[in-house]
Amino acid sequence: MQLHVIARGKIGRTPEAELVDRYARRITWGMKITELPDRGGNVPPPPPGAVRTVALDERGRQLGSVEFARILERWRDEGVRETRFLIGAADGHDQGLRDGADLLIAFGAMTWPHMLARAMLVEQLWRATSIVAGHPYHREG
């Protein structure tokens, strides 16, 4: 299954970009990152076949890392070809996008800068794929 992060805003050469790169290089599943302008620009069309969409949203579920990993593992085992992770700009996502997502997730009740949220998401994708693979990176408890 390909993991596809679609994020609003250009990360450029920032410390957050270094974190994103560090964790993205570790992911052994297919990994792709697409940047869109803060406003406008179209989300790229999904590939043929089963696709799931996850939107990062302050009203989303707060999942533990193992629970998140098990969701991705289940989708992979069901034949999902791509899971898309949508990160909005400063104003978040519109209601239509939230309604169309298969899952809304939040990194807690606090508001996070969207560039930092990108780094946090890619680290959690690395952690989730490590959990699925039985790699010792994640320590429960």
110 is in an annotated binding site: yes
88 is in an annotated binding site: yes
Q: Identify whether the C-beta of residue 29 lies closer than 8 Å to the C-beta of residue 20.
A: no
109 is in an annotated binding site: yes
69 is in an annotated binding site: no
Q: Taking the C-alpha atoms of 41, 58, 51 and 37 in order, what is their torsion angle to the nearest 10 degrees?
A: 10
30 is in an annotated binding site: no
40 is in an annotated binding site: no
Q: Which of 48, 66, 68 is nearest to 2 (CA)?
A: 48
Cα→Cα distances 26→17, 46, 78, 104, Å: 15, 24, 24, 25
Residues paired with 2 in a beta bridge = 30, 82
Residue with tokens 């920032």: 14
111 is in an annotated binding site: yes
Binding-site residues from annotation: 56, 88, 107-112
- List the binding residues for S-adenosyl-L-methionine: 56, 88, 107-112
